[in-house]
Structure 1
Amino acid sequence: MKSTADIRNLIREIPDFPKPGILFRDITTLLQNADGLKASIDLMAEQVVAHQPDCIVGIESRGFIFGMPLAYQLGLSFVPVRKPGKLPAAVHQVSYDLEYGQDSLEVHQDALSIGHRPLIVDDLLATGGTAAAAAQLVQKTGATIAGFSFVIELSDLNGRKKLPDDVPVTTLLSY
């Protein structure tokens, strides 16, 4: 297994979840398939190596699932971006709008600095709010974003428009 078509076949579609009219793309079936998970990481690594990242920034929580093995595969370090109150040292924080309310993300202030080129990783690019907030966090540290990498993009939601124009975005699957 080494193609995006094979990976697409491992993603379960659940209609009307979490609410009527939504077709949920469930990655748990991909994660349960060892060959599919390995192929996902291998293909993501192939896509992003040209961006020359020097570390991986994973967005809590599913960004950790794909970010850690990607960091391992590329021989890079891993920086977690977490929900508030989860990191023990001094943090940068960014708040962002959700469909119904607000949320925040944090990163340790000493995790990145000028000269770093992190790749921001998550499982899904939907409306772009979470990824844009992670980008703002990275920029607060003085680092330069090397790129974004997602397993799935819901292209009808136009999440790319919230991301910096000059930063490459790669996805394995687009719906």
Structure 2
Amino acid sequence: FQSTGKLTGHQGPVMCLTVDRISNGQDLIITGSKDHYIKMFDVTEGALGSVSPTHNFEPPHYDGIEALAITGDNLFSGSRDNGIKKWDLAQKDLLQQVPNAHKDWVCALGLVPGVPVLLSGCRGGTLKLWNVDTFAPIGEMKGHDSPINAICTNSSQIFTAADDRTVRIWKARNVIDGQISDTGDASEDLASN
């Protein structure tokens, strides 16, 4: 491993990042920071040295960015301000936002495999589901009794990592109707909003 360059421009610690490849093959790196800002970097193959952001997403969150997720042309950002924002990656515009998506910091975002559903996890341990297209809430449940730090998915399962030293495994079923079940000991269904 050899460091070939660095992305610069944030005024605070960089807390999260995600990578996306746009149609022309260009790699985009999106970063979120405690400075409240999300920045986009175009990184061409062989880029060396210090790379400055090509875009700052405006308006910024009211507190630090904790999580980012991309699906299609949409970028979602979760923040310590308890809110989630939906951005258009092509136009770089704010499309929608839910200022108080959770009662605590939004610490993790993920996407349900195979359906247009965004998952969000908070410092209070709550897991919520949102329709990607309308940003309408689909359902919520107690995911953990401690902060949810990360959400990852494969083709059929959802994994949530938390402060309680566990990773829970969830099976998505009828998720558009607000159903998700824990594949562990307890089988829990989402309460539909």
Asked if TM exceeds 0.5, the reply is no
TM-score, structure 2 as length reference: 0.25
Give TM-score scaled by structure 1 length: 0.27
Higher helix proportion (structure 1 or 2): 1
Specify which structure has the bigger relative contact order, considering alpha-carbon pairs within 8 angstroms and separated by 6 or more residues. Answer: 1
